Amino acid sequence: MKFEFRFPDIGEGLDEGVIMKWLVEEGDSIKEGDSVAEVETDKVTTEIPSPRTGKVGKLMYKEGDTVNVGEVLITIEVEGTSDIEEIVESEVVEEETAGVVGEVIASSEVIPPSTEEVAFSSKPVTNKKVLATPVARKMAKDLGVDIASVVGTGPNCRVMKEDIQNAKAQESEPTPTPALAPEVAKPTPTAALPTTTVVAQENEERIPLTKIRKTISQRMTQSRFTIPHTTAMDEIDISKLVEFRKKYKDLLMEEDVKLTYLPFIIKAVIVALKKFPEFNATLDEEKEELILKYYYNIGIATDTERGLMVPVVKDADKLSIIELAKKIEEVSTRAKENKSQLHELRGGTFSVTNYGSIGGHFGIPIINYPESAILGLGRVVKKPIVKDDEIVIANILPVSLSYDHRTIDGASGSHFINLLRELLSDPDILLLRA
């Protein structure tokens, strides 16, 4: 019998993916757990395993197509199942999907949202299958909104958080009587509007944005236009740290440990975060509360072929310098090789970006929303400085600290960098305080 394998929810908040590569062909025999496709999501590329043993029936999409959660990915010919068993299986898949992003809408037709229906409908639609995000479902339940009566504005009419908020706001407004209801202006037919086709010139090339690049674009825009950034910059003399690292670098290399400056800097950052917890926080705009986090998950901005990735070192405060060095190398390498798992890209509380590794000096890093701050690191260079009234050559580390000016004052940024200077200029003090 035919079993319809629907694209599963492979991670919280991810409701679609792009088929990068089929790993099976129609007619192939597969076992439960065998990978059937390689799919790119907003964050990672991952393989999708088959939930059944059988023969591949039909591949429902071509490579490069976008598939939404809950849509049929492939069909599988399963031996030994009756019609009743097939129906039960389909219902189970749909029910599992409903628990994550809502029940699957049977029709593939996208119906444009109608504000008139929301405002004047007197009866909720019954027996309607609703496609909705988990946040929207919970919000509807908390606010007492009938989610079945809400027209979604998301992909495939999926009900979003904003739709629930709008529906609740409209419920609070007095319902106008038909006699006094204002006339709703009819939208101008799109066919009447002039259309412009942009054609690439002979010396131009148009490259479609990848899923990852679209997500990076959205996240950077969200951060820049949501958080009022301010950036403090300074230079830190790390000459003693350079000597300290040089002393142990070769020794640790024999133990296959790549000792860079980053583990020391992260240790110093954690000391500073504990003293200034507003830098390790998230602003809850709806409740107007600042959420201070007393755990330290440090995101490491990593340049990959697919774009900027930020794998997270969890509980970095509990790791030694050597353990941090190993973990940083591990998560960065996995990101570059496109092997990061979703859990490795989530849960960050503060981020560090090392543009100095590719020769940069100063920069203005953009905060990894919804975090409150990010530290940018420039290239360590030798410069003449005045020390004890004498000109000496020092190893200088440029730093740039961007932070959320809604919750962090300018003076706090200076205090944070001053503490970093104290710790990084003397490794003994750093190790004592870390």
Catalytic residue numbers, as ranges: 405
SS3 272: helix
Please name the residues in contact with 343: beta carbons below 8 A apart, sequence gap of 6 or more: none
Residue 285, exposed/middle/buried by CB under 10 A (0-12, 13-18, 19+)?
A: exposed
**Amino acid at site 118:** V
CA dist 310 and 315 (Å) reads: 15
Strands (E), 13-98: 16-22, 29-30, 35-40, 45-49, 54-59, 66-68, 72-77
Q: Are 232 and 405 in contact (CB under 8 A)?
A: no
Cβ–Cβ < 8 Å for 133, 160: yes
DSSP character at residue 131? B
279: nearest Cα among 422, 431, 405: 405
Q: Which residues, in sequence order, are CB contacts of 371 under 8 Å at separation 6+?
A: 282, 299, 348, 349, 350, 351
Q: Looking at the chain, how many residues does it have? A: 434
- Burial string for 386-404 (b: 16+ CB within 10 Å, else e) reads eeeeeeeebbbbbbbbbbb
CA distance 184 to 294: 52
Phi/psi at 69 (5° precision): -55, 135
Quick one: how many helices (H) and strands (E) in the chain?
Answer: 10, 18
- Please give the Cα distance from 75 to 59 (Å, whole number): 7
Rounded Cα gap, residues 124 and 139, in angstroms: 18
